[in-house]
Chains A and B, each alone.
Chain A
Amino acid sequence: MSLLEVENLRVTFSTETGPVEAVRGVSFQLGRERLGIVGESGSGKTMTGRAVLRLIRPPGKIQTDRMIFDGQDLSKASERDMRALRGRRIAMVMQDPKYSLNPVMRVGDQLTEGLRQRDRLGAAEARKKALAALEAVQIRDPERVMDAYPHELSGGMGQRVMIAMMLIPEPDLLIADEPTSALDVTVQAEVLSILDGLVRERGMGLIFISHDLRLVARFCDRVLVMYKGRVVEELVARDLMAAQHPYTRGLLNCLPRIGGSRAPLPGLDRTGTWAND
């Protein structure tokens, strides 16, 4: 039984020059696994992630045949039901922690806010839970981090705090939108292994949105490759390097490699029929 089922998802923005379709008929299923969505900027991967949470602001519009999360049809759910789902059962981690944490509030207060208001926990208990969450994302001195303001944290630390915050309500589904792009490579590896552990231990579903094919190939179970709002190829992550679709192949080939030749990198050929429909 799948956790999330999306059928024929469309996101349309009405602009001065007429409607623009950011997502054009995307369908996928997600179990308790790591699903990667890759594509270049403008491919609609971020919009797909946001549409699941119905976080598209007007003039954007979401249309879908079916969008079922754990037996509940998200496309028909009321705004109130969605609010109950967001954060608690479906959580989202954004690219840059700098913009997702409140700069004038201590990290600890932000972490316990939801626990105290939503779950009506006492101050001491909420703090205990928050500390445990920080430990779960491998922050060494959680006490210090709890009392820090977001600007006092490094990028990697901030992103871990974000993940901890999203994980406190123990969601069933985590949507991570470029969670490691703003991080250094060595920190990137740590954050990924934290996410990996959480999927395994808690049986959480993960949608991992990224522009980095190699990263997704290494980290995810299954991969959707998107181009101009459509899924052009869906494959098992292990086989990504052996992808067949010309777009996926093109994306892989245009990357420079250590020790590779100095010859001009092959460009992405966008003349195929797949690119224009």
Chain B
Amino acid sequence: MTDYIEIQDLSVTFDAKGRKVKAVEGVSLCVDKHKSYGLVGESGSGKSTILRAICGLAPITGGTIKIGGEALPSPRGKSFSARVQMVFQDPYASLHPRHTIDRTLSEPLMIHGIGDTDSRVMKALDDVGLPKSFRFRYPHQLSGGQRQRVAIARALMLQPEILLLDEPTSALDASVQAEVLNLLTRLREERGLTFLMVSHDLAVIDHICDDILVMQHGRAVEELSREDLASARISTVYARSLFDASADRLLG
């Protein structure tokens, strides 16, 4: 029993004004515990939709998702929240503009009836490398990188086992991206988290993930290990074209 996240033949179909739009079609993947799995593809490839489907934010029309061998309840419920959390792409849109950082971080504790709010919020700020004096700031008083740190801290408040990362660094500057990637790597090691990460940047995915699934038009194209990518062992045309377009991100 090593498969921790197990997605079988997943399909997601949106109903857009009477027209059926297939965002994900028959995708299967498995992630082991404490591993990091990457989904890579261009816009419209359905990679983010898979994360949203896991969270119950997108309608699943076929296939199953299991975590730790159990099928997910619907609606997801509080025990799911305590287990799986998500970090969104745009740090400017994922924090409530009229809530202080303190409120944003203490909200999950209130929902789950966990006490000891003060010390937990302080510790969370500390864990993501934010000064304690930021506690009562509003999001508009923070930079993009600082906001993303808050979003990561919020996702970790309930001490989940799985973190879903939806392009967590693509809205950030290169130097800030490096800091956030380092933070994610460190937190994963410290807490034994399992990552499922989405990105369009092969280099970012390669830096964080052990296994990679290349997606196109809602379908899985090719599954690659990190070693395959480093040695350019790629068999499908599409994955190869993606790799070639990222040639300037290669080592050396």
Contact = CB atoms under 8 A, between A and B. Distances in A.
A258 B251 contact: yes
Interface in B226-252: 229-231, 241-242, 245-246, 248-251
A211 B173 contact: yes
Given A41-B144, A186-B241, A214-B249, A267 B179 contact: yes
B179 A185 contact: no
Given A184-B43, A215-B248, A255 B178 contact: yes
Interface string A195-223: 00000000000000001011101100000
B3 interface: no
A184 B200 contact: yes
A40 interface: yes
A260 B175 contact: no
Contacts of A264: 182, 185-186
B178 A267 contact: yes
B96 interface: no
B90 to A, nearest CB: 13
B53 interface: no
A266 B246 contact: no
A184 B179 CA distance: 24
A254 B177 contact: yes
Q: How large is the interface on A (under 10, 10 to 19, 20 to 34, 35 or more residues)?
A: 20 to 34
Q: Which of B207, B231, B242 has the largest number of chain A CB atoms within 10 A?
A: B207
A59 interface: no
B72 interface: no
Interface in B31-61: 42-43
A128 interface: no
A256 interface: yes
Contacts of A258: 202-203, 206, 229-230, 246, 249-251
Contacts, number: 90
A18 interface: no
B174 A211 contact: yes
Interface string B154-189: 000000000000000000011111110110011000
B135 to A, nearest CB: 22
Contacts of A266: 178
Contacts of A214: 248-249
B179 A262 contact: no
Q: Which of B43, B175, B176, B230 has the largest number of chain A CB atoms within 10 A?
A: B175
B229 A188 contact: no
Interface string B193-232: 0000000101110110000000000000000000001110
Q: Which of A186, A259, A260 has the largest number of chain B CB atoms within 10 A?
A: A259
A265 B181 contact: yes
A260 B201 CA distance: 14
Contacts of B248: 214-215, 217-218
A187 B185 CA distance: 31
A186 to B, nearest CB: 5
A118 B42 CA distance: 39
Given A41-B144, A218-B248, A266-B178, A184 B230 contact: no
Contact of A257 (B173, B203, B231): B203
A258 B229 CA distance: 7
Given A259-B206, A260-B207, A262-B207, A184 B174 contact: no
B66 to A, nearest CB: 29
Q: Which of B173, B230, B245, B250 has the largest number of chain A CB atoms within 10 A?
A: B173
Interface string A101-136: 000000000000000000000000000000000000
Contacts of B179: 267
A254 B200 CA distance: 18
Interface in A125-170: 155
A259 B175 contact: no
Contacts of A257: 203, 206-207, 249-251
Interface string A243-277: 00000001100111111101011111000000000
Contact of B175 (A217, A218, A251, A262): A251
A53 to B, nearest CB: 25
A259 B229 contact: yes
Given A258-B249, A259-B206, 18 more contacts: A40-B173, A40-B174, A40-B176, A41-B144, A185-B200, A187-B42, A251-B175, A255-B174, A255-B177, A256-B178, A257-B207, A258-B229, A259-B231, A260-B207, A264-B186, A265-B178, A265-B181, A267-B179
13 contacts: A155-B43, A185-B242, A185-B245, A211-B173, A251-B175, A256-B206, A257-B250, A258-B250, A259-B231, A259-B250, A260-B206, A264-B186, A267-B179
Interface of B: 42-43, 144, 173-179, 181-182, 185-186, 200, 202-204, 206-207, 229-231, 241-242, 245-246, 248-251
